[in-house]
Amino acid sequence: MNPFRLPSRRALAPSSLLVALLLASAVTPARAAPVVFNAAGFSSVGNPVKFKATLAITGTLLSVRLDNLSPVPSKDASDVLSSFYFDVVKSGSIRPALTYLSGTGQVYQVLSGTTDRPFVYQPTSSLTPGFGPSNLKAVNTNDKTWQFRAMNPALPPLEGFGIGTVGNSALSPNGFTPSIVGPAGPTQIAFSLYTGADIDPIGVLASQYLVRDTATFTFGGLAGFSEADIGPDATFGLGTMPDSIIELPEPGGMALAALGAVVAGGWQVARRRRRAGR
């Protein structure tokens, strides 16, 4: 059981991994411009983590860039960014029919005691040593990378869309299929975003193929939508095998929240509440 009492808690089935809470803060300019979400806090093993998501609409295309900006190298599975949930919505309920076009990033095999090795990945299971963008778009069984889901916004994590590289059966029917992003179990952390060079990973992160620093995803189907329709909320997910969502109050102004509380017994994320009147 969760030993902490937090506002608006939504508890689901327990799991075996620990993850800290992150509060995403949106920075939305008055004029049309990319929408930026930031989150900062601590992982379940006490390491400081920081993430950024930049969403932009150009014509009928949406780009979602994710950055792991953590100030220390990602050594543990709890330190890496493995999913992101967002929304594009008009008048509270009208959402686009997004088409998943691409996902790219530089993949490395992270090894303890030696240099991280660059690879180019093409589903399914084609790994070639060297530098170059990998195909992170998971569509078919065993693609293993980042799957896209149009989600039920009335259910956790209360967003219209999600991309992730871990199975998420506890958020069913909003979860990601382990057979696509798997295999099921600790190794499905593969292709998550880490930061640092030659990180000497520990635990299940050792010898994994991960994306260093940044990944970019593109979607079609945005006719009639603009950047003013993005958000206002977003959720960043860490680790693997998520099993619960924590809602926290929206912070005053645009300040970032650095949350040190660690929740035992499960993967946890935190999100901003929607602003009144949105």
User: CA neighbours within 13 Å on the CB side: how many for 151?
Assistant: 28
**How much is the average pLDDT of 183-197?**
80
- Going through 48-98 in order, the beta strands assigned E by DSSP cover 48-58, 61-68, 81-86
pLDDT band at 166 (very low <50, low <70, confident <90, very high): confident
4 within some domain = no
- Whether 158 has a pLDDT exceeding 80, the answer reads yes
202-255 residue pLDDT tens: 988 999 999 999 999 999 999 999 999 998 888 888 886 543 333 323 322 222
pLDDT band at 183 (very low <50, low <70, confident <90, very high): low
245 within some domain = yes
Nearest CA among 159, 162, 157 for reference residue 176 = 162
95-153 residue pLDDT tens: 999 999 999 999 999 998 899 999 999 987 688 999 999 999 999 988 889 999 999 99
Q: Give the Cα separation of 227 and 246 in Å (integer).
A: 26
pLDDT at 184: 59
- The mean of the pLDDT values for the chain is 76
Q: Is 91 exposed, middle or buried (0-12, 13-18, 19+ CB in 10 A)?
A: exposed
Do 22 and 269 form a contact (C-beta atoms < 8 A)?
A: yes
pLDDT at 45: 80
2 within some domain = no
32-75 residue pLDDT tens: 689 998 888 888 788 898 999 999 999 999 999 999 999 999 99
265 within some domain = yes
The neighbouring-strand residues paired with 66 are: 53, 215
Do 26 and 235 form a contact (C-beta atoms < 8 A)?
A: no
**How much is the average pLDDT of 190-212?**
92
pLDDT at 267: 35
DSSP state of 60: T
Q: Give the Cα separation of 245 and 235 in Å (integer).
A: 9
89 within some domain = yes
Do 53 and 65 form a contact (C-beta atoms < 8 A)?
A: yes
For the chain, how many structural domains are there in total? 1
pLDDT at 5: 24
pLDDT band at 258 (very low <50, low <70, confident <90, very high): very low
CA distances from 168 to 82, 176, 237 (A): 11, 5, 11
Q: DSSP of 111-154, one letter per residue? A: -TTS--EEEEEETTTEEEESSS-EE-EE-STT--SEEEEE--TT
277 within some domain = no
Determine the structural domain holding residue 139 and report its residue range. 9-271
23 within some domain = yes
- Whether 275 has a pLDDT exceeding 70, the answer reads no
CA distances from 7 to 17, 36, 245, 249 (A): 22, 25, 11, 7
Nearest CA among 22, 51, 48 for reference residue 211 = 51
The neighbouring-strand residues paired with 25 are: 38
pLDDT at 99: 98
276 within some domain = no
| Residue reference for tokens 């593969």 | 190
pLDDT band at 10 (very low <50, low <70, confident <90, very high): very low
